[in-house]
Amino acid sequence: MFRFVVRRLLVAGVTLVVISLVTFGLFFAVPSSPAKVMCGKNCTAADIAQVEQRLGIDQPLPRQYAGFVKGIFVGRTYGSGDFRQDCPAPCLGYSFRNNQPVTEIIAQRLPVTFSIVFGGAVLWLVLGISLGMVSALRRGTVFDRTAIGITLAGASMQVYFFGLILLYLLVYATGLLPFPSYTPLTENPGRWAVGLLLPWMTLGFLNSALYARLSRAQMLETLSEDFVRTARAKGLSARQVHTRHALRAAITPIVTIAGLDIGTSLGGTFITETIFGLQGLGKATVEAVQFLNLPVVMATVLLAAVFIVVANIVVDVLYAVIDPRVRLS
Amino acid sequence: MVKLPEPRSGESPYLRVKDLRVRFDTEDGVVRAVDGVSFSVERGRTLGIVGESGSGKSVTSLAILGLHNAKRAAISGEISVGGRQLVGMPEEEVRRLRGRDMAMIFQDPLSALHPYYTVGRQIAEAYRVHHPRAGKREARGRAVDMLGRVGIPQPGKRFDQYPHEFSGGMRQRAMIAMALVNDPDLLIADEPTTALDVTVQAQILDLLEDLQGEFRSAIILITHDLGVVSQVADDVLVMYGGRAVEHGSVEQVLRRPQHPYTWGLLSSVPSLHGDADADLVPIKGNPPSLINLPSGCAFHPRCRYADRNGDRSRTEVPELRPAGEAGHLVACHLPADERTRLYQQDIAQVGVAQ
Amino acid sequence: MTEPLLKVRGLTKHFPVRDGFRARGAVRAVDGLDFDVRPGETLGLVGESGCGKTTTGRMLVRLLDATSGSIEFDGRDITHARRAQLRPLRQDLQIIFQDPYASLNPRHTVGRIVAMPLQVNGINPPGGIKKRVQELLELVGLNPEHYNRYPHEFSGGQRQRIGIARALALRPKLIVADEPVSALDVSIQAQVINLLRDLQRDLDLAFVFIAHDLAVVRHFCHRVAVMYLGKIVEIGDRDDIYQRPQHPYTRALLSAIPDVTTLGPAGRIRLAGDVPTPLNPPSGCRFRTRCWKAQDRCATEEPPLITRDGGGQLTACHFPETGTISQDSGPVGATAEEVSK
């Protein structure tokens, strides 16, 4: 197990390097320059060159990349003399827009996205899996058919559409909920939860539709397995057969998908954040791309990659915990 | 009414199945998977049920254990286990008999064992469900004991291993240990050796026989392999298209078979003995579809002798009737003397039928 | 004596087992096979699971590449022949699979399936492809009018006939048949065995017939090779193998088959345990861990596959059996008493 994790971490490191290289390359392949964007319309070529120099993007690409990597691990220094600016490790640079340290931006934005995804995931897992399992056990009944109908609608709905409907119904029309806002959990847990209820519901309901369908299919497949028949032949009650034997086997692939979904979402839930005006990572990424704000783009893209890679490793480890057949190889 | 073979000892049969019918309603039509089958098995004896795919042999065994989905299968007739009538019994009561009074071994032990739980835990679970007061330690002791009795070396260590760490033969031994952990009076083995290699099959058949001597269970062995039946069965029931076509002692059915289908099976099986260069005599055509069973005798389209009694084979379902010797029953319209003559003439020389 | 059609020498297949990036060893699936198949001859390859018989069959038709050794077919070395070089050869060398359904494309009509080998090889038989396909269907006992039907409309036995018709389309000289009847019902098995026998005789086909069922092999093959853990332990003419088996494993295998002609538990040779893993086969004679005659020598010295009496029956055993098994009646269990538990 230990060797397995070490090996996976090495592979993960290589993956991250490749992703950062590609992002770097792509950024400079774009014809427009961030210096132009910052400098504004009435800029002379000399002004632009000066800005470029200040941002450090006049340097050759490999050197920029080396500086970027060095900043992460040992920190780096920008400018010299009066403009000297020390940036201790892990240094992700400064925003081109407002000179804010990127690490600070991340520190502000990450908790927002984390909170959205956490609540949403709890909702979609609990709701989706239980709905799917119950549907499978009551296959063909009115409950099953209704659930399947609703999940089909849910699975084909878009976040922005559903989110706006919820917003209208629960905030504007009835005033049941306040307009979503982010309050740190440590500050006021109650307001944290109330403020995020709408995004949770949006993410939760839509994803739970997918998870319900997935769980139902998995459960039905497992129920037709030979080992479930064996369990019944032993004289176990239906409840024991379902929970102890069928559910455990059916849930394995769901764990995989859930892990990856959560990992991906942590990189940013842009649409949800935008609809509800929440300052999360997803929004930060998209804004940075619009303004060619390289340091922020690099940081958020890398962070998203880290989440996905880590989620992958967690899923693999979980898999080995659940399924003994995986442990040996 | 069908007369069953009389039990040989004074004891009444532990399992008595009378006019069992199992019907499934499917989108393509009604499937009569089992259509009026009767038989009985005493403790300490083995009944072999022989048939090809779609003969209804596995459906019969699942019906006895009550493992069919009540919503999809309609079951009628009588299934009496140790004097208790199972058809119509509430599920909760059948459940209590399952695994305790009647147990089952399946064809593929790898898929029949749960991949995520240790072998020992699965056996202990089978014990504890019927011994709710037994502690963890007692159940473990019992499971280890059973593993040892089915010939698994180092049972204490094997208890904690997973099914994928067992070889095919060992897995089937573990399945047998699980089935016998509550000392059931009836054991149903559904193709228990089909997935195994031939040398391992021999081990498992020996084991079943030894264990029967020890536990004195009634055993139903379901198989397509006449060779397996000849080794371990006391009585044989031949099924075709959901019906019984021949029933008797193993000696009667395999040595003095009376039904053309049994003849066909015997003459089409390649043997290690006899003339290797002689052609086998196959049964023409294919096993029937249960949705669209041929009229009259279901075997008539494949029977070489169907034309010998005018239209009877096509119009009238033959009943299971005494075939001469005591306890030997056959469902065929051919007159007894003609059957004997045809068998001597056409069949006795080929395949394993000799 | 005619030249062999197929000449196999030292044929070996090792599947490397990796632990991460390093090789941790190899599954020695097939380990140094030597055998010949003459034109029009049927050779049975028998053995239990894991003995390497299927891997061998796949190497013969180049679905797998051999790790070492050579395969000579019709005078040409095909061990490492490339695709283009293989093409003319494919016509002469065909394979039939165990699962008739999985090996037929469900979206193609039977006519198209059987015609495929002709079209791929650009062959236009006299009278056209359709006529040839219908002849083939008739040859394997299918109704030629079913040309336009799909595989799912046929039963298991009929599907296997379709597979056979496809294999015959190019008039091959050798067919590798991998368990062609083991997925079929008993009554259908005999139909297909008889069909293969008739075709073999009428078309003078050579067969490598891979099977686990020794009774089936006895009814089909002229010669038989018994395999155990990747090696041939005994090879010889059918009657020698079945009547005068010299290798203890062959005896055990024959005696383990439950035969209808003997009622009740016959005096069987009971082999203890299962086949060991080919990842780490026993030293010396691979069968020794289950053999009741094994001595110290068997663990240290690998027995060569040699003849005992100057004839064509080769056995790889230090302590071969002698004596005849009666073919007329009775079990093979002459040595049952010697069996170690």
Domain boundary assignment for chain B: 116-182, 257-353
Residue B63 Cα distances to A95, A315, B20, B94, angstroms: 73, 41, 9, 11
Per-residue model confidence (pLDDT) at position C4 = 92
Per-residue model confidence (pLDDT) at position B7 = 46
**Per-residue tens of pLDDT for chain C, all 341 residues:** 678 999 999 999 999 887 655 667 888 999 999 999 999 999 999 998 889 999 999 999 999 999 999 999 988 899 988 878 877 777 889 999 887 778 888 899 999 999 998 888 888 888 888 899 999 998 888 888 888 999 888 888 889 999 999 999 988 999 999 999 888 888 888 999 999 999 999 999 999 999 999 999 999 999 999 999 999 999 999 999 999 999 999 999 998 888 777 776 556 778 887 888 888 889 999 999 999 999 999 999 999 999 988 888 999 999 998 888 765 443 333 333 333 33
What is the three-class DSSP state of B248? strand
Does C243 reach chain B within 8 Å, measured CB to CB?
A: no
User: In whole angstroms, what is the distance from residue A230 CA to residue B188 CA?
Assistant: 12
Q: What is the pLDDT of residues A150-203, one digit of tens each?
A: 888 888 888 888 889 999 999 889 988 888 889 888 889 999 999 999 999 999
Instruction: Tell me the residue type at A96.
Output: F
Smallest Cα–Cα separation from C303: which of C290, C289, C284? C284
Q: In chain B, which residues have their Cβ closer than 8 Å to the Cβ of A235? A: 95-100, 126, 129-130
- The highest-confidence range among B244-253, B282-291, C161-170, by mean pLDDT, is B244-253
Query: Is the residue at A122 inside a domain?
Result: yes
Tell me the pairing of strands B46-50 and B218-223: parallel
Q: How far off is chain B from A325, nearest CA to CA, in Å?
A: 7
Cβ contact A235–B129 (<8 Å): yes
Cβ contact C187–B283 (<8 Å): yes
Cβ contact B286–C188 (<8 Å): yes
B61 and B190 in contact (C-beta within 8 Å)?
yes
Q: Are residues A160 and A197 in the same domain?
A: yes
pLDDT greater at residue B333 or residue B350 = B333
Q: Are residues A171 and A269 in the same domain?
A: yes
Does C339 reach chain B within 8 Å, measured CB to CB?
A: no
Residue C277 Cα distances to B109, C22, C29, C226, angstroms: 19, 20, 10, 18
pLDDT greater at residue B40 or residue A318 = B40
Per-residue model confidence (pLDDT) at position C335 = 34
Per-residue model confidence (pLDDT) at position C338 = 35
Band (pLDDT 50/70/90 cuts) for residue B87 is very high
Per-residue model confidence (pLDDT) at position C155 = 83
Q: How far off is chain B from A135, nearest CA to CA, in Å?
A: 16
Residue B182 Cα distances to B95, B217, C253, angstroms: 14, 11, 34
How does DSSP assign B12-32, residue by residue?
PPSEEEEEEEEEEEETTEEEE
Per-residue model confidence (pLDDT) at position C98 = 83
User: In whole angstroms, what is the distance from residue A216 CA to residue B303 CA?
Assistant: 47
Please tell me which of the candidates B67, B71, B108 has its beta carbon nearest to residue A232.
B67
Structure-token pair, residue B170: 């060992």
Instruction: Collect all residues with Cβ–Cβ distance below 8 Å to A286 and sequence separation of at least 6.
Output: A270, A274
Helices then strands, each counted (H, E), chain A: 15, 2
Touching partners of A (3+ C-beta pairs < 8 Å): B
Please tell me which of the candidates C188, C213, C260 has its beta carbon nearest to residue B230.
C260
Q: What is the pLDDT of residues A51-106, one digit of tens each?
A: 777 777 777 888 888 888 888 888 887 766 666 777 887 888 888 888 888 899 99
Instruction: Collect all residues with Cβ–Cβ distance below 8 Å to A83 and sequence separation of at least 6.
Output: A54
Long-range contacts: B142-146, Cβ < 8 Å, 24+? Answer: B142/B181, B143/B177, B143/B181, B144/B120, B146/B177, B146/B178, B146/B180, B146/B181
How far does CA C268 lie from the centroid of its chain? 25
Q: Name residue, tokens 């499937």.
A: B31
User: In whole angstroms, what is the distance from residue A293 CA to residue A38 CA?
Assistant: 10
Helix crossing, C156-168 with C186-203: angle to 10°?
Answer: 20
Band (pLDDT 50/70/90 cuts) for residue A1 is low
A280 and A116 in contact (C-beta within 8 Å)?
yes
The number of distinct structural domains making up chain A is 2
Q: How far off is chain C from B167, nearest CA to CA, in Å?
A: 7
Structure-token pair, residue B212: 């029967």
Does A86 reach chain B within 8 Å, measured CB to CB?
A: no
pLDDT greater at residue B326 or residue A3 = B326
Cβ contact B268–C274 (<8 Å): no
Q: Is the dihedral of CA C215, C221, C224, C225 positive or negative?
A: negative
Per-residue model confidence (pLDDT) at position C267 = 61
Per-residue model confidence (pLDDT) at position C316 = 95
Q: Are residues A155 and A218 in the same domain?
A: yes
A280 and A273 in contact (C-beta within 8 Å)?
yes
Does A226 reach chain B within 8 Å, measured CB to CB?
A: yes
B187 and B220 in contact (C-beta within 8 Å)?
yes
Q: Are residues A118 and A220 in the same domain?
A: yes
Q: Are residues A175 and A108 in the same domain?
A: yes
Helices then strands, each counted (H, E), chain C: 10, 12
Please tell me which of the candidates A140, A235, A244 has its beta carbon nearest to residue B130.
A235
Closest residue of chain B to C329, computed from CA coordinates: B273
- Bridge partner residues of C30 (DSSP): C13
A160 and A154 in contact (C-beta within 8 Å)?
no
Q: Name residue, tokens 């008039």.
A: C171
Instruction: Collect all residues with Cβ–Cβ distance below 8 Å to C112 and sequence separation of at least 6.
Output: none
Q: Are residues A110 and A250 in the same domain?
A: yes
Does C126 reach chain B within 8 Å, measured CB to CB?
A: no
Q: Which helix (H) or strand (E) holds A69?
A: helix A61-74
Does A236 reach chain B within 8 Å, measured CB to CB?
A: yes
What is the three-class DSSP state of B34? strand
- The highest-confidence range among A36-45, A318-327, B42-51, by mean pLDDT, is B42-51
Query: Is the residue at A97 inside a domain?
Result: no
Closest residue of chain A to B63, computed from CA coordinates: A233
Q: Are residues A63 and A119 in the same domain?
A: no
Q: Are residues A81 and A110 in the same domain?
A: no
Does B72 reach chain A within 8 Å, measured CB to CB?
A: no
Scanning C61-109, the segments in alpha helix (DSSP H) are 83-90
Count of CB pairs separated by less than 8 Å, A with B: 68
**Residue B3 pLDDT greater than 60, yes or no:** no
Per-residue model confidence (pLDDT) at position A153 = 86
- The enclosing domain of A268 has a CATH number of 1.10.3720.10
Instruction: Collect all residues with Cβ–Cβ distance below 8 Å to C28 and sequence separation of at least 6.
Output: C12, C14, C229, C230, C278, C279, C281
User: In whole angstroms, what is the distance from residue C151 CA to residue A235 CA?
Assistant: 41
User: In whole angstroms, what is the distance from residue C165 CA to residue C141 CA?
Assistant: 9
Does C327 reach chain B within 8 Å, measured CB to CB?
A: yes
Rama region for B152: left / alpha / beta (φ>0; ψ in -120 to 50; rest): beta
Q: pTM score, two decimals?
A: 0.85
How does DSSP assign B327-342, residue by residue?
T-EE--SS-HHHHHHH
Q: Is the peptide bond before B5 cis (omega within 30 degrees of 0)?
A: no
A103 and A298 in contact (C-beta within 8 Å)?
no
User: Chain B neighbours among C 37-96 (CB < 8 Å)?
Assistant: 48-49
Query: Is the residue at A311 inside a domain?
Result: yes
Per-residue model confidence (pLDDT) at position C2 = 77
User: Chain C neighbours among B 262-301 (CB < 8 Å)?
Assistant: 264-274, 276, 279-284, 286-287
Compute φ and ψ for B248, nearest 5 degrees: 175, -170
Q: Are residues A44 and A144 in the same domain?
A: no
Please tell me which of the candidates B198, B225, B251 has its beta carbon nearest to residue C256.
B198
Compute φ and ψ for C97, nearest 5 degrees: -100, 170
pLDDT exceeding 70 applies to what percent of chain A? Answer: 96
Q: Are residues A49 and A195 in the same domain?
A: no
Q: Are residues A303 and A272 in the same domain?
A: yes
Cβ contact B169–C187 (<8 Å): no
Per-residue model confidence (pLDDT) at position C329 = 41
Cβ contact B98–A240 (<8 Å): no
Residue A17 Cα distances to B39, C124, C338, angstroms: 72, 58, 67
Residue B290 Cα distances to B31, B54, B56, B296, B313, angstroms: 6, 7, 9, 14, 18
Q: Choose the final residue of a domain: A64, A87, A110.
A: A87
Q: Are residues A55 and A108 in the same domain?
A: no
What's the rounded mean pLDDT across residues A227-251?
94
Q: Choose the final residue of a domain: A87, A119, A146.
A: A87
How many Cβ atoms from other residues are within 10 Å of residue A155's Cβ? 16
Per-residue model confidence (pLDDT) at position C16 = 87
What was the ipTM of the complex prediction?
0.88
Q: Which residues constitute the domain of residue A25?
A: 2-87
C12 and C69 in contact (C-beta within 8 Å)?
yes
Q: Choose the final residue of a domain: A87, A121, A154.
A: A87
Please tell me which of the candidates B53, B209, B271 has its beta carbon nearest to residue C265.
B209
Query: Is the residue at A329 inside a domain?
Result: no
User: In whole angstroms, what is the distance from residue A167 CA to residue B54 CA?
Assistant: 59
pLDDT greater at residue A36 or residue B39 = B39
**Residue B322 pLDDT greater than 50, yes or no:** yes
User: In whole angstroms, what is the distance from residue C65 CA to residue C74 CA?
Assistant: 19
Does A138 reach chain B within 8 Å, measured CB to CB?
A: no
Q: In chain C, which residues have their Cβ closer than 8 Å to the Cβ of B280? A: 190, 193-194, 219
Scanning chain B, the segments in alpha helix (DSSP H) are 57-64, 91-97, 109-112, 119-130, 136-149, 155-158, 168-180, 198-215, 226-232, 250-255, 260-268, 312-315, 336-342
Does C253 reach chain B within 8 Å, measured CB to CB?
A: yes
Scanning C129-174, the segments in alpha helix (DSSP H) are 129-139, 156-168
